[in-house]
């Protein structure tokens, strides 16, 4: 069952009050995929990351929040300096999957302005009905290889167990019951 946002923030605030910033980060970060493009959640997560000293990651979430406060500018600048190359969609590739919107016009005003300044255009060739969180081809291949590997391992273990049981029953029959 999905928790309501106020409960989410209460749990994060309780972790912060207890001096467990790492736990607040886990709570907020774990809920990002569940809430879609949630500007307030991005801002809160960015604030916690800023307090943890992770300016690069904080800059990403503070940038996505669309809030432009003086205390956020340095972190946002660090993020954009690293990933905001002119004319590249690299900055969007760094966003969490729920924040990779099809059209630049769907972002909050401050985010849209910066993306426009960077020359970022709408996602080419992406269908309007495709989910924002579709897996990348590389991940699909790696997942398939992992699945096949698990099936092969399970088959080997099953055969090994069957052979082992047969040998064990044969030994028990010979030594305990005198079977030949």
Tell the residue number behind the tokens 């590739």, with chain if given: 93
Q: How many CA atoms lie within 13 A of 23 on its CB side?
A: 13
Instruction: Identify the residue whose tokens are 């432009």.
Output: 68
Q: Can you give the length of the chain in residues?
A: 180
- Give the architecture (CATH level 2) of 5-117: Alpha Horseshoe (1.25)
Q: Which residue has the tokens 């099936």?
A: 151
Question: Residue 54: what pLDDT?
Answer: 94
pLDDT tens per residue, the chain (180 residues)?
A: 455 566 889 999 999 999 999 999 999 999 999 888 999 999 999 999 999 999 999 999 999 999 999 999 999 999 999 988 776 778 888 999 999 998 899 999 999 999 998 988 876 544 343 444 444 556 778 888 999 999 999 998 898 888 888 888 888 888 888 776
């Amino acid at each position: 069952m999905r928790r309501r946002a106020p409960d989410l923030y209460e749990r994060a605030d309780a972790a912060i009050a207890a001096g467990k910033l790492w736990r607040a980060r886990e709570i907020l970060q774990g809920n990002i995929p569940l809430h879609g493009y949630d500007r307030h959640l991005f801002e809160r997560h960015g604030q916690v990351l800023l307090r943890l000293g992770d300016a690069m990651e904080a800059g990403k979430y503070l940038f996505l929040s669309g809030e432009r406060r003086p205390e956020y500018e340095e972190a946002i600048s660090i993020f954009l300096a690293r990933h905001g190359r002119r004319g590249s969609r690299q900055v969007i590739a760094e966003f969490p999957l729920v924040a990779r919107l099809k059209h630049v016009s769907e972002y909050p005003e401050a985010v849209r302005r910066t993306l426009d300044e960077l020359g970022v255009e709408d996602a080419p060739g992406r269908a309007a009905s495709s989910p924002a969180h579709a897996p990348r081809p590389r991940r699909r291949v790696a997942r398939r290889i992992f699945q096949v590997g698990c099936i092969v391992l399970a088959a080997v273990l099953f055969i090994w167990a069957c052979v082992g049981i047969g040998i064990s029953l044969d030994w028990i029959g010979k030594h305990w019951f005198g079977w030949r």
